[in-house]
C-alpha cells in the first residue's frame, strides 16, 4: 500500500527473571513480557509519523494489560524490510514485523500461522481477497495491515479545456491523450515505468488488458498473448505518439509523476489514495474513475497490501495474539486507515468507512477492493521477479523496444526463480 505507504524494528526480550517464564516457544509465557515490534512509517512528516500512531495504541493497550509491554521501533519503507532481514539473520527476530513481504520467512518455518494467533472473529474479519493473498500453500501467515487500490486520476481543468469526459476504455483514453496534447499539455498520460514502482504500473495495465502476472492455473504468465497485446498497444498508441511526456517511461518514477500531476502538468495517471491529498493541497481539481479496459472498465483493479507477521523465535504466541486482536479492532483499523488515507483491511472497518459521509472520498478505491488482484506475494520467487520487472519493463516501450521479447525474458526469469524456490 505503497503508498508512502516507512518502518519499525523489533526484538523480543522478557522482562523479569527468566526462571519465572514458562512455555518458551509454546503457547506463551507467564509473568511480565516485552514484545518488540518492527513497523513501517506511513507518514510524510514528523507530525504524522507512524510512531505517534503506535505510541498512542500501545499506551492504551498497556493500561489494560499491565503484564505486557510493547516496544515499537519505526523505520522508513526504504529500510524496514532490510532491518528485519538483518535481525532475523542475526538470530534476533522481532516478535512482530509489519513489512512488505513474508513468503521467505514462512517458507523457512519462522512465522506463526495466523490461525494460531488470532481469535476466530478477528481472523474471519479480514477482507477475503487480502486474507487469501496472505497465504503460502493455502496456509495464512501474512496478516494484511494496510491496503489500497488504484484508479485513474484525471485533471478536471485540463479535461474541461479540451472538452473531454472521463475515459471508460482504451480508445477513450488514447483519444483524450491526443486532445490534451493538441491543447499543449506536455504529459497527457504519465506512464511511470521507472525503477521505483514499475511493477505496479505494469500490473495495472496487464489487468486492464485482461491478463496479469499469473495465468489461470496459478503459474507465471507474463508473456501471455493478452499481456503482449497490452504493451504493444501502450507503445504504439501512447508512447510512440508522444503522449506520455518528455521523460521516457522507463526513467519516470511514480513519485515524480505524482508531483507533476499535483503541479497541474499531467492530464491522466493511475494513482492511489494518497495522491488525493497531495493534489488537493496544490489546488488541482481532479476526478477519479476505474481503470479503463480494452472495451470498457477493466475487469480487475490492482490491489496492494502490506503485511503484519509474527515470528516464532521468542515464543510469546499468546501475548502476540492478544495484542494483534487489539490492533485489528474496528476502532484501531479505522483510525490508522483514516490517518494515512488507506483502505481498511477488515470487513467491519470497511463497512463503517463506507457508511461514514466523511470517508466518501475513499469510496472509488473501496469499491474496487473486493474484486482486486494483488501481487503474488505468497511466492518466494516474487521478490526476484519484481526486481526484474522494475529493471527491464521500461525497455518494452522504448523507441526500439520489443514488448514480446521483453515480456518473454521476464517470463523466463520468473519460471527459473519459481523453479529455484
Residues with Cβ within 8 Å of residue 139, at least 6 apart in sequence:
106, 113
CA distances to 94, 225, 420 from 204, rounded to whole Å, are 34, 16, 27
Contact 310, 95 (CB under 8 A): yes
The domain 151-300+381-420 is classified under which CATH number: 3.40.50.970, 3.30.70.150, 3.40.50.300, 3.40.190.10?
3.40.190.10
347-375 as b/e: b if 16+ CB within 10 A: bbbbebbeeeeebeebebbbebbeebbbb
Going by C-alpha positions, the residue among 232, 286, 234 that lies closest to residue 258 is 286
Residue 313 has which C-alpha cell? 523465535
Assess contact for 127 and 302: CB atoms under 8 A: no
Q: Grid coordinates representing 195?
A: 525503477
> Given the C-alpha cell 479540451, which residue does it identify?
162
The CATH code belonging to domain 13-147+304-371 is: 3.40.190.10
Measured distance CA(281)–CA(283) in Å, rounded = 6
Place of cell 524496514: 80
Q: Give 314's contacts (C-beta < 8 A, 6+ positions apart).
A: 12, 93, 95
Q: Measured in whole angstroms, how far is the alpha carbon of residue 379 from the centre of its chain?
A: 16
Q: How confident is the model at residue 379, as a pLDDT?
A: 92
Q: Give the chain's end-to-end CA distance (angstroms, integer).
A: 25
Domains 13-147+304-371 and 151-300+381-420 share a fold: yes
Which pTM was predicted? 0.84
The CA distance from 366 to 353, in Å, is 9
**Beta bridge pairs of residue 309:** 97
Q: How far apart are CA 100 and CA 45, in angstroms?
A: 21
The domain segmentation of the chain, as residue ranges, is: 13-147+304-371, 151-300+381-420
Angstrom distances, CA of residue 359 to CA of 12, 146, 242, 349 = 37, 16, 38, 12
Structure confidence at residue 44 (pLDDT): 78
pLDDT for the residue 237: 98
Q: Which residues of the chain carry a pLDDT beneath 70? A: 1-31
CB 84, CB 38: distance < 8 Å: yes
Amino acid at each position: 500500500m505503497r503508498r508512502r505507504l516507512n518502518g519499525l524494528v523489533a526484538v523480543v526480550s522478557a522482562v523479569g527473571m527468566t526462571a519465572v517464564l514458562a512455555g518458551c516457544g509454546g503457547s506463551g509465557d507467564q509473568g511480565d513480557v516485552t514484545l518488540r515490534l518492527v513497523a513501517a512509517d506511513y507518514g510524510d512528516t514528523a507530525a504524522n509519523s507512524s510512531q505517534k500512531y503506535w505510541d498512542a495504541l500501545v499506551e492504551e493497550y498497556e493500561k489494560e494489560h499491565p503484564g505486557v509491554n510493547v516496544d515499537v521501533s519505526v523505520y522508513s519503507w526504504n529500510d524496514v524490510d532490510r532491518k528485519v532481514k538483518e535481525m532475523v539473520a542475526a538470530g534476533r527476530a522481532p516478535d512482530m514485523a509489519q513489512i512488505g513481504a513474508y513468503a521467505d520467512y514462512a517458507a523457512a518455518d519462522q512465522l506463526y500461522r495466523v490461525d494460531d494467533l488470532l481469535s476466530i472473529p478477528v481472523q474471519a474479519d479480514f477482507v477475503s481477497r487480502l486474507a487469501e493473498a496472505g497465504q503460502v500453500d493455502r496456509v495464512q501467515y501474512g496478516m494484511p495491515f494496510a491496503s489500497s487500490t488504484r484508479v485513474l486520476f484525471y485533471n478536471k481543468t485540463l479535461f474541461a479545456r479540451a472538452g473531454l469526459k472521463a475515459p471508460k476504455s482504451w480508445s477513450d483514453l488514447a483519444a483524450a491523450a491526443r486532445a490534451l496534447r493538441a491543447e499543449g499539455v506536455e504529459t497527457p498520460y504519465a506512464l511511470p515505468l521507472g525503477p521505483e514502482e514499475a511493477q505496479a504500473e505494469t500490473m495495472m495495465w496487464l489487468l486492464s488488458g485482461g491478463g496479469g502476472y499469473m495465468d489461470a492455473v496459478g503459474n507465471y504468465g507474463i508473456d501471455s498473448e493478452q499481456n503482449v497485446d497490452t504493451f504493444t498497444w501502450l507503445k504504439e498508441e501512447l508512447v510512440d505518439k508522444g503522449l506520455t511526456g518528455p521523460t521516457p517511461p522507463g526513467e519516470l518514477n511514480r513519485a515524480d509523476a505524482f508531483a507533476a500531476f499535483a503541479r497541474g502538468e499531467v492530464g491522466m495517471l493511475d494513482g492511489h489514495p494518497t495522491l488525493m491529498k497531495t493534489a488537493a493541497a496544490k489546488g488541482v481539481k481532479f476526478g477519479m474513475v476505474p481503470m479503463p479496459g480494452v472495451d470498457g472498465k477493466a475487469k480487475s483493479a490492482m490491489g496492494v497490501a502490506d503485511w503484519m507477521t509474527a515470528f516464532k523465535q521468542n515464543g510469546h504466541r499468546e501475548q502476540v495474539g492478544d495484542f494483534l486482536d487489539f490492533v485489528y479492532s474496528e476502532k484501531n483499523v479505522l483510525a490508522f486507515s483514516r490517518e494515512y488515507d488507506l483502505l481498511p483491511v477488515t470487513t467491519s472497518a470497511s463497512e463503517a468507512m463506507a457508511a461514514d459521509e466523511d470517508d466518501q472520498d475513499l469510496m472509488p478505491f473501496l469499491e474496487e477492493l473486493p474484486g482486486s488482484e494483488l501481487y503474488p506475494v505468497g511466492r518466494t520467487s516474487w521478490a526476484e521477479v519484481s526486481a526484474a520487472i522494475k529493471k527491464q519493463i521500461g525497455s518494452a516501450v522504448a523507441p526500439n523496444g520489443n514488448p514480446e521479447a521483453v515480456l518473454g525474458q521476464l517470463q523466463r526469469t520468473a519460471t527459473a526463480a519459481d523453479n529455484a524456490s
